Structure 1
Amino acid sequence: MKTILHKANTRGHANHGWLNSHHTFSFANYYNPERVHFGALRVLNDDTIAGGTGFGTHPHDNMEIVSIPISGALEHKDSMGNTAVIQAGEVQVMSAGTGIFHSEYNKKQDEASQFLQIWLFPNRKNVAPRYDQISIRELEKENEFFQILSPNTDDEGVWVHQQAWFNLGNFTRETATSYKLHATNSGLYVFVLKGRVEVEGHELSDRDGLGIWETNSVKFKAEKDSQLLLMEVPMNIN
C-alpha cells in the first residue's frame, strides 16, 4: 500500500473576493509539480461563491466535470441549451467532449454557495457533450458508503466516461468500516468534508485528503461524526 497525504492547510488558495477557492491539485495560478493529479483525478477545488456572483460563460473540452454542492445553490446554463439550478443533495456531471460553454451563478444575493468542482481525465476523447444532474437524497445511507458516480449508465448515481466510482458516507462517532476497490489498477482518494477519521493509520480532519493505491481495500474509523467523499480512479492514464 502506498499513500500520499494532503493536509487542508497545504492546498493552493485563491481569494478573488467573489470566489474563495482551495485547490488540492495544481489549478490556474497555483502550480505544484508534485500535486498535478492523482491518477485520473485532475482537479479537486473547494469553492465558495459569494451571493449575486459566479462564473461567466467559459469553455471546456475533453474532461469529465463533476459538481457536488455543499450548501446554497447555483444556476447552470450551457451551450447545449440546459438551464438548471443545482443545490445541496444533488450531483451534476458534464462530459465536455468535443467542447461546451457554460456558466454558474449564485442568484441568492445574501447567501454564499459552497461546492466541490472535480475534473476527471476521460477514457474516451471527443465524445458528444452531455449534461446530467440528479438528487442523491434517496441514495443516502447511515454509517455506510453510498455510490453517487460510476462508469455504468445503469448503476446508482451519475455516470462518466472513465473507470471511476465516487461514494459519499455519513458516519457517527466510533463507526468502523471499509471500502473495497473495483479494479487492481485503481487508487482511492479520500476527502474529508467534515469530522475526524482514521484511515489506514492516518488521522484526517476537515478538508484533508489522502491518496491510497496498490491495495485492494481501505479501512476507516470515525473518531467523531464525519462526512467523507471517496473517489476511486485509474492510476494509469493515457
Structure 2
Amino acid sequence: MNIKKKYTTQKGSLRFTVRPSRERGRADFGWLKSAHSFSFGEYYDPQHMGFGNLRVINDDIVTGGKGFGRHPHKNAEIFSYVLEGALEHKDSLGNGSVVSAGGVQYMSAGSGVTHSEFNPSSTDKMRFLQIWLMPARQNTKPAYDTIDLSNDDKSGKLKLFLSRDGRNGSMTTQADASVYAATLEDSQAISTDLKVGRKGWVQVANGSLNVNGIALSKGDGLAIDGSGPLTFDQGNAAEILFFDLAR
C-alpha cells in the first residue's frame, strides 16, 4: 500500500497510516452493499492493493434470502467475521454450516475449492467482514473450520482466533498471520507489542477507539509499520480486528 502522507503519523519507531472509512471503495448491487478497504472487483486503486499478506477486507451487508452463489477460489486464506445476523456456507468439500454473529468461518482454498455463502434469513439483513490473506505456500490441501467467540472472550483483551500454528485453540491458517478480535468500552485498555519484522493492521468493525493516541471510528483501518508497543484505549462500543502480519 502506498502511503498518503496526510494520513501518516510517526511515533517513535512506529509509523501509522489511517485508511479512512469514507475513502473505501463502494459497491451497491441492491441485495449487497459493500465497502472495500483494498482494490476488489470493479474497484481499483493502485495505492490500495493490500498490506503485507493481507489482500482483502470487504465490509458486506446482505439482504434477507440473498447471497453469493457457487464460485471457485484457489490459493487464498478466506475468513468471514459475522457482525449481524447469520451466514450459511456450503462447499465442494462437503462442509455446510451456519455461523451467527460473534462467529468466524474460515476456508483455506489451497489447490482449489468452490463454495457458496448466503443469508439464511428471509427477512433480516446480515453483516460480515470478508477477509483474504495470502498463503505462505501454494496449492495446499483445502480446509474449512469455524469458531464462536463469546463476549467474554474478547472484552478488553485480544482474542486470538486464527494463526499459523493453531496456538491457544485458534484455527490454523496457511498464511503467516495471527488475527485477533477485541471489544473495548470506557476504561478498558489493551497493550501489546508489534515485533521486529512484522506489520500490523487494525480494522474497526464497530464503535470508536484510540490506538497509540490515534482516533479511529467504524470502518477505519490503520496500517502499522515498524516495531514497538501498541495501546488500544478510549473505546466507545468498539469492536476491532487486529492483524499481526508477515512483511
Measured against the shorter chain, the TM-score band is over 0.9
Contact persistence 1:173–1:226 (CA under 8 A) = no
3-state SS in 2 of match to 1:189: strand
Gaps of 5+ in 1: none
Contact 2:107 2:144 in 1 (8 A): yes
Alignment equivalent of 1:47, drawn from 30, 53, 60: 60
State the secondary structure of the residue aligned to 1:140.
Answer: helix
Q: Distance between the aligned counterparts of 2:242 and 2:207, measured in 1? A: 15
- Give the deviation of 1:22 after TM superposition: 0.4
Pairs within 5 Å for 1:12-161 = 12-137=25-150, 140-161=153-174
Structure 2 residue 210 is matched with structure 1 residue 192 = no
In structure 2, the CA distance between the partners of 1:155 and 1:139, relative to structure 1 (3 Å rule), is farther
Closer/same/farther in 2, CA of residues 80 and 223 from structure 1, 3 Å limit: closer
Q: 1:169 is matched with which residue?
A: 182
Aligned-residue offset at 1:70: 0.5
Q: Which amino acid aligns with 1:125?
A: Q
- Tell me the distance in 2 between the aligned counterparts of 1:209 and 1:150: 20
2:21 pairs with one of 3, 8, 25: 8
- Cα distance in 1 for partners of 2:152, 2:107 equals 20
Q: Is the Cα contact below 8 Å between 1:47 and 1:115 reproduced in 2?
A: yes
Letter in 2 for 1:151: R
Aligned residues: 234
Question: Secondary structure of 1:195's match?
Answer: strand
Secondary structure of 2:22's counterpart equals: helix
In structure 2, the partner of 1:210 is 222
Give the whole-Å Cα distance in 2 for the aligned partners of 1:95 and 1:221.
33
What is the rounded CA distance, in whole Å, between the counterparts of 2:135 and 2:41 in structure 1? 20
* Matching residue's letter, 2:208: R
Contact 1:64-1:122 within 8 A present in 2 as well: yes
Separation (CA, whole Å) in 1 of partners of 2:216 and 2:140: 37
RMSD over equivalenced CA pairs, Å? 1.5
- Asked if residue 222 in structure 1 is aligned to residue 246 in structure 2, the reply is no
8 Å CA contact 2:184–2:235 kept in 1: the answer is: no
Contact 1:185 / 1:234 at 8 angstroms: preserved in 2?
Answer: yes
2:181–2:240 contact (8 Å) kept in structure 1: yes
1:189 counterpart letter in structure 2: W
Amino acid of the structure 2 residue aligned with 1:133 = T
Structure 1 counterpart of 2:70, one-letter code: T
CA contact (8 A) 1:57 1:103 kept: yes
TM-score by length of 1: 0.93
Cα distance in 2, alignment partners of residues 72 and 204 from structure 1 = 25
Identical counterparts, % of pairs: 39
The amino acid that maps onto 1:99 is G
The offset of 1:86, in angstroms, is 1.4
**SS across alignment from 2:131:** strand
Residues 174 and 224 in structure 1, CA contact (< 8 A), matched pair in contact too: no
Residue 217 of structure 1: CA displacement? 2.5
Structure 2, unaligned stretches of length 5 or more? 1-13
Where 1:225 maps in the other structure, the secondary structure is: strand
TM (norm. structure 2) is 0.90
Distance 2:154 2:128 in 1: 21
